[in-house]
Amino acid sequence: MALPTYASPLEKAWHYCYRVICALIFVFLMAPILIVIPLSFNVEPYFTFTEKMLSFDPTGYSLRWYDLLLTFPNVPTDVPRDSSWWAMVWKEAQWVQVAKNSVIIGFWSTIMATVLGTLAALGLARPEMPWRKTIMAILISPMIVPIIITATGLFFFYSNACVPRESLAGQALSPLLSNRGCLANTYLGVVMAHATLGIPFVIITVTATLVGFDHSLTRAAASLGAGPRRTFFKVIMPLILPGVISGALFAFVTSFDEVVAVLFIAGHEQQTIPRQMWNGIREQISPAILSVATLLVIISVGLLATVELLRRRSERLRGVTPR
């Protein structure tokens, strides 16, 4: 925003000082993220800038750490990269396996969080809903309570709430439960834990979308003979869809980047990308972690850009001019 012509010297000084403060805050927040990107192209196995990198020598940069993500044990790195090699990478490469786990767990936890969070937001948006503020505080508590406390509670609950294997329910759910009939060390347990963490984001985004919703549209649909189901899918859902998708994206990012709950609940077969990065930092520090971090930054930026586009579309649908 430009300064008005009648601004005093003190106001002009504060205007430029404020811009400098904002720029410093931006650099403080973004510098750790931006430094990771060039370091991931370092040809040397170091977490520092080499002299060749600082002088922009092309020999100081390499894609070796990105290529390392596609390697797997007991196979030479100089074998021809034909279709059989790529098939082997898809089945055996460690980073590829954890990436598939992250996508699978993130997808199903997003579906669960989106459905439950949207239903909860629709109920909380109704003025006749009793104890709305109390219920809202309880539902968004996983976002407020420290994650270590939530993960500990989920671990003890999933470890003790077991179904006997010989029972009818235990036999029906045996593919989804552990050998003891519990949710700990299973895909279902990790999905439910991540859904618990993602539901608050869906509730907040959908509730914010419902603030500007015109409830006279539902009454008009009912007066024209539309049932509750048809009204929801034909009237309500198209208008709140941008908020639902935004909440789903936040839930997916939360699941994709989460490591604490995975450390408590997941077993060896449910390793995710953050868990693999954690193991790499503990056992062997490798710049391959920086290449994974760079890919995660690119994915996060893409998802946040999608959320912003959806927000602008939602504002246009509600008749609000986006800034």
Q: CA dist 188 to 142, 153, 253, 311, Å?
A: 19, 16, 18, 32
Q: Contacts from 140-145 at CB under 8 Å and sequence distance 24+?
A: 140/200, 140/203, 140/204, 141/200, 142/196, 142/197, 142/199, 142/200, 143/197, 143/200, 143/201
What integer pLDDT is reported at residue 108 of this predicted model?
Answer: 92
Q: CA dist 44 to 37, 49, 59, Å?
A: 15, 9, 10
Identify whether the C-beta of residue 210 lies closer than 8 Å to the C-beta of residue 239: no
Reported as a single tens digit per residue, the pLDDT across 175-217 is: 777 777 778 888 888 899 999 999 999 998 888 888 777 777 7
- From the candidate CATH numbers 3.10.270.10, 1.10.3720.10, 1.20.1050.10, 2.60.40.1840, the one assigned to the domain spanning 93-317: 1.10.3720.10
| pLDDT value at 75 more than 70 | no
At a CB cut-off of 8 Å and minimum separation 6, what does 217 contact?
235, 236, 239
Binned at pLDDT 50, 70 and 90, residue 17 comes out as very high
Reported as a single tens digit per residue, the pLDDT across 248-285 is: 888 988 888 888 888 888 887 888 888 888 877 766 67
Reported as a single tens digit per residue, the pLDDT across 142-179 is: 888 888 888 888 888 888 877 777 777 667 777 777 77
What integer pLDDT is reported at residue 11 of this predicted model?
Answer: 82
What integer pLDDT is reported at residue 125 of this predicted model?
Answer: 80
Q: Contacts from 291-296 at CB under 8 Å and sequence distance 24+?
A: 291/40, 291/65, 291/66, 291/68, 291/69, 292/69, 292/95, 293/36, 293/40, 294/36, 294/37, 294/40, 296/256, 296/257
> What is the H or E stretch that residue 173 is in?
none
Global pTM value: 0.78
Sequential DSSP letters for 217-274:
HHHHHHHTT--HHHHIIIIIHHHHHHHHHHHHHHHHHHHHH--HHHHHH--GGG--HH
